Amino acid sequence: MSGVFRQFRNGAMVFFGGLAVVYLASQMPASWQQEIVLLGGLALAGIGFVVAMLAQVRLVIGRIVQFMQKK
């Protein structure tokens, strides 16, 4: 189970890091560099979200399996 929590934590950190990059990109003057930085931030946030949600699904499935095995 600790591996799942680690996966969730890492996904959440990448997600919030991506959001920070998106915020920093919004503070840049309008240019193609801003668009590239924004794209990178959105990619990081998306990857972090997917990783965190996969960990959450693993936790839920693990709890269901554990509940079913107790019966």
Confidence of residue 5 (pLDDT cuts 50, 70, 90): very high
Half-sphere exposure of residue 27, counting CA atoms within 13 Å on the CB side? 6
Domain count, the chain: 1
The mean per-residue pLDDT over the stretch 40-49 comes to 98
Length in residues, the chain: 71
Q: Note down the domain range covering 55.
A: 2-70
Tokens of 31: 């240019």
Above 80 in pLDDT, residue 33?
A: yes
Q: Whole-model pTM?
A: 0.85
Confidence bin at 71 (pLDDT 50/70/90): low
